Amino acid sequence: MLSNKNRIKSAADYRQTVRRGERFRGRYCVCYAIATEVGKPARFGFIVSRSVGMAHTRNLIRRRLKAISAEILADGVSAVDVVYRAHPGAALATYSELRRDLISVVARIRLVSDSAVKAVES
């Protein structure tokens, strides 16, 4: 699963990522991403509101998001804070559908951050 160093825990960090971060829309969630210092580990936060469903459904979606985030970390993502805000449709999505959606969104995040790094290096 996700270790503590890879979790966004404070309300101020959530607020900063959602307000100042770039927004990426997926089918089942909206992701907010903001670049952090080079060399820092990637951190993930999860927002699953009551509109998604009952408590057991929300917890299931949150566990799935954490497992997918751990897979994304294994691919070498770093120096970014990402907050996932689940849509109500996430409750009806299978694990593989949710995984496919999040991986495509994170790929877009990486493309944007890679182009930003190249612009700074130029």
Q: Are 76 and 38 in contact (CB under 8 A)?
A: no
How many Å apart are CA 71 and CA 86, to the nearest integer? 18
Only one residue has tokens 């897979």, namely 71
Domain CATH for 42: 3.30.230.10
Alpha helices for 6-52 (secondary structure H): 11-20
Q: Structural domain of residue 98, as residue ranges?
A: 4-121
Q: Are 17 and 33 in contact (CB under 8 A)?
A: yes
How many Å apart are CA 103 and CA 84, to the nearest integer? 12
Provide the domain count of the chain.
Answer: 1
Backbone φ and ψ of 106, nearest 5°: -65, -30
pLDDT in single tens digits along all 122 residues of the chain: 789 999 999 999 999 999 999 999 999 999 999 999 888 999 999 999 999 999 999 999 999 999 999 999 998 888 899 999 999 999 999 999 999 999 999 888 877 766 554 544 44
